[in-house]
Structure formats: structure tokens, C-alpha cells
A and B are shown apart, each in its own frame.
Chain A
């Protein structure tokens, strides 16, 4: 079956085109959707995209960022104000993929992809979808149904300080490879104790997930080997890791506490 591309100058027009044709899909950078077409996916026949400049804007204000959903990983890496979160963007693919892959596409990427979304989840980002503000957790829970045909306009989050933000991607191939798992931690500390922890995993379920029990166990504890011991014991609680050619679910579960511990104890 032949494919076609429809390009619209505004996101609203693209949204209308998506709604008018169930056999259409919204095209971000193409690293997932064109790939699936190349692999023979026949559930869609039309690519819809928007060249709306608002989708590639970066707004930084009062410690918060608002990023258009069509921004590429390279654009994030190149933005000085986003240097703190750039390791998560740098973890995505090689240079060519990073020049193409968008925030919006990453939000829909199934495991083992979607490393930047793991960071957005730990950052507790808010998504702008059809004029509504949607918490990223709610979006991820509904991305296969409620938001399956939505166009994410932008993401917003408070920019953490460099000592609050930690990101780790584990892969077998260096320097770049598909994730065994990824972890992002946003920690706040006061007087040597963790006052707030947001921990997100990639590849430990079919989509990025928060580690709620780990977060609770870290609260009020010092960031030391002994202080994080209870949290590490709960590291795999609630996880349902994927099994793929990169690693089995068993392997991912075995190595998660090790990597989480290393990440938390990073100076």
C-alpha cells in the first residue's frame, strides 16, 4: 500500500487532518513511524505533520522550561539553559538519530526506547495537549488509548540544579546502544537528608514508570550506602521489565538495584 504525506502550517490543521482520517498518523522526526512503515506496518497510509514554529520553540522563564514537542534531541543538547537535562537527550541514539528524534516522538516510544521520557517523568513534566495541561504520568497511562491520536504541543518542567538531577542509561554497546535500562533521579536534599525524591525507570515496564516505593523509602534518609539500603531493597517493586534481544526481564531486575545504587551515590 502506498503512503502519503500531508503537511500543515498549523497544529490545529494537522489535528483536524488526523481526526478526519483514521488511517493517518502524526509524524515527528520519523525515527519510529517511518521505521515502522519501512518494516511493513499497514495500519496507516498517511503521515500527517505540522511545520508550526511553536512546536520547535524553547522558552525559559523563572527556572522553568517550556519546550515545543518537535524539538529534537540535538536542539536540547545545544540549548545552554537545558545543560542539566542534556545527558538524557544525549542518551538517545547516535548523532543522526538525535538530529531527527523529537520530544513528542520520544513520549510515544515503546521500551526499550524513550530514554528522554524517563527524564521527563522524573522531572514531573506537564504536557500541553489540545489546550489541556496533562501530567506526564496520566499521559503515559493513557498514551495507547486516550492520547493515542493526540498531538503533544509542548512539555513544561522546572529545571533542576545539576546536583539534583541524575541520569543513567545502561547499554551493552559503547558508546551508544539500546537500553538495558535507564534511570533518572531528581533529588532534593537538606542538611544531609533527602527531602524529596522522584525516581523514574525505563525498560522496567512497557513504558517509563515511577518507582514510588523507592521514592518513599528515600525520604528523610541520608544519601549514603546505609541510607539508601532500604530503598534499594525495594528497587524492583512494581516493575514488569521487558524481555528483548538486549536483555531478559530477569537480567534487568537483577542489575537494576546495582545501577540505582551507583546513580544515587554519584557525588
Chain B
């Protein structure tokens, strides 16, 4: 199968790679770029574990073709933490025991980030809606919802 060039920014860094035409962004990120923070779950668009932010919008990398991302700005959990400092969402998930096996966590956090980027002070209902495309089978949703609300409060405190 022919290989095609793809070029995009990943967490602010320019990336250029040759990938097989028709390959998904999930495969390109994990197998070519080496960003293992993106998890592949159902591959059907049902579980949300592969969620990434593309040009500011939450999308599923398992259903997005890498070639269609040429020129895009892609964000994953791999780029959230600053050196020596976790992102407020990561802090809140750790402090609030919102991660158990951890497989859904990257997708949950990106769904939460997409929400907080456009609505820094969400209601509980906003949070429930924001993660409605993400499935968790072990932690349970309550700690996750609470962690996202805690992160939003921490954000607003740091801004104030």
C-alpha cells in the first residue's frame, strides 16, 4: 500500500511522517509518532478511549483518517503536563481517585478538556453531557464527574 506524507502539529510540536494511505489517526499516533497516551478501545466510535482534540474539537482518532488531519492542530493527553507539573485535570483525576485501571482516562480527560476550553465553569449536567461518549467500566462515573468539576474550580481559582 502506498505511503503518503502527513504533517500536523501534535501538542504544539510539528510532526511530519509517512503513513499508509487510509490508516487511522489512532494508528498513526501510536505506531508512527509514538504517542502512546492515546488508547485504542472498541475501534467503533463507542467507547471514547481514543478521543483527541483536533483544531479545538473533540474527535475520535479511531474513526479519523490520518491523511485528513494534514495541517491540523492535534492535542492528546501526552501533551497536557508541563515539565514537573500535571495539568489541573490530571491532578484532579489523581487526587479524586477518578482513575482505576486507567484505560478510559486519556479519553475522559480530553473530553473534559474540550469542555473546559469552551466552558470553564460547567454545571454537573454539562460535565455529564461532555463525557457521554466515553465509557468507563471500573472506576465509575461519579469520581470522574467530580474530578472534572474540581478541576474547573481549581482553574477558576488560579485565574482569580
Contacts and interface: CB of A to CB of B under 8 A. Distances in A.
B48 A96 contact: yes
B44 A96 contact: no
Interface size class of B (residues with CB under 8 A): 20 to 34
Contacts of A35: 43-45, 63
A267 interface: no
Contacts of A63: none
A96 B20 contact: no
Nearest to B129: A175
Interface stretch (A3-11, A214-222, A225-233, A248-256): A3-11
A98 to B, nearest CB: 8
Contacts of B90: none
A74 B130 CA distance: 13
B68 A7 contact: yes
Given A4-B2, A35-B44, A97 B22 contact: no
Nearest to B58: A96
Interface in A21-69: 27, 29-31, 34-35, 37-39, 46-47, 49
Contact of B67 (A5, A29, A31, A175): A5
B110 to A, nearest CB: 9
Given A4-B1, A34-B64, A34-B65, A95 B22 contact: no
Contacts, number: 91
A47 B134 CA distance: 27
Interface string A202-244: 0000000000000000000000000000000000000000000
A30 B60 CA distance: 10
A93 B129 contact: no
B133 interface: yes
Given A2-B1, A4-B1, A39-B44, A94 B63 contact: no
Contact of B64 (A30, A39, A93, A94): A30
Contacts of B1: 2-4
B22 A3 contact: yes
A195 interface: no
Interface in A89-125: 93-97, 99-100
B96 to A, nearest CB: 22
Nearest to A90: B129
Interface size class of A (residues with CB under 8 A): 20 to 34
Nearest to B107: A96
B128 interface: yes
A100 B63 contact: yes
A72 to B, nearest CB: 9
A5 B129 contact: no
A96 B60 contact: yes
A176 interface: yes
A153 to B, nearest CB: 20
Nearest to B40: A38
B17 to A, nearest CB: 15
A155 to B, nearest CB: 22
A213 to B, nearest CB: 35
Interface string B119-145: 000000000111111100000000000
25 contacts: A2-B1, A3-B23, A4-B2, A4-B21, A5-B4, A5-B21, A27-B65, A30-B68, A31-B45, A34-B65, A37-B22, A49-B68, A74-B57, A94-B111, A94-B131, A94-B134, A96-B51, A96-B59, A96-B111, A96-B133, A97-B45, A100-B59, A100-B60, A100-B64, A175-B128
Given A34-B63, A35-B63, A97-B133, 15 more contacts: A2-B20, A3-B1, A4-B1, A7-B67, A27-B65, A35-B44, A38-B43, A38-B63, A47-B65, A95-B114, A96-B51, A97-B45, A99-B57, A175-B129, A176-B133
